C-alpha cells in the first residue's frame, strides 16, 4: 500500500490513526491472528490457517510499524505549516480582490 492509500485508509475524524492493528491490516487485510511483543519486535503467536496470505515476518511487521509511525510524524509536523500557508494564500487572495479596502 502506498503512502497516500495508507493515509486515506487509516484516517478518521481524529486524523491519521495508526498502531499495530493498522499495521497488520495494511500487511494482511482481514487476517485472524494473535501477537506478542518483546524488545520492540512483534511476533505472531497464532495465525489462522484460513488466512489468505502467509503470516508476515517480525521484520515486515516492524518495518510497516516504523513506516506508519513516520507517516504520522510527518503529518503532525506539516499540519501547522499547511494551515499557515492556507492563511497566507487566503490573505493574499483577499488583498488582490480588494476585500480589505472596504
pLDDT tens, per residue, the chain with 102 residues: 888 888 888 888 778 888 899 999 999 999 999 999 888 788 899 999 999 999 999 999 999 999 999 988 888 887 776 666 666 666 666 666 666 554
* pLDDT value of position 37: 86
* pLDDT value of position 95: 65
CB atoms within 10 A of CB 13: 5
Note down the domain range covering 78: 3-101
* pLDDT value of position 39: 83
Angle (CA) 46 47 51, round 5°: 160
Rounded to 10 degrees, the C-alpha dihedral 56/58/60/66 comes to: 140
Angle (CA) 54 57 63, round 5°: 125
Count of structural domains within the chain: 1
* pLDDT value of position 74: 85
Amino acid at each position: 500500500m502506498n503512502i497516500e492509500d495508507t493515509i486515506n485508509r487509516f484516517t478518521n475524524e481524529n486524523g491519521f490513526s495508526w498502531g499495530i492493528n493498522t499495521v497488520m491490516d495494511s500487511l494482511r487485510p482481514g487476517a485472524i491472528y494473535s501477537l506478542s511483543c518483546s524488545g520492540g519486535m512483534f511476533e505472531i503467536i497464532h495465525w489462522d490457517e484460513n488466512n489468505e496470505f502467509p503470516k508476515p515476518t517480525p521484520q515486515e511487521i516492524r518495518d510497516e510499524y516504523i513506516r506508519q509511525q513516520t507517516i504520522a510524524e510527518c503529518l503532525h509536523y506539516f499540519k501547522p505549516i499547511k494551515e499557515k500557508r492556507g492563511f497566507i494564500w487566503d490573505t493574499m487572495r483577499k488583498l488582490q480582490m480588494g476585500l480589505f479596502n472596504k
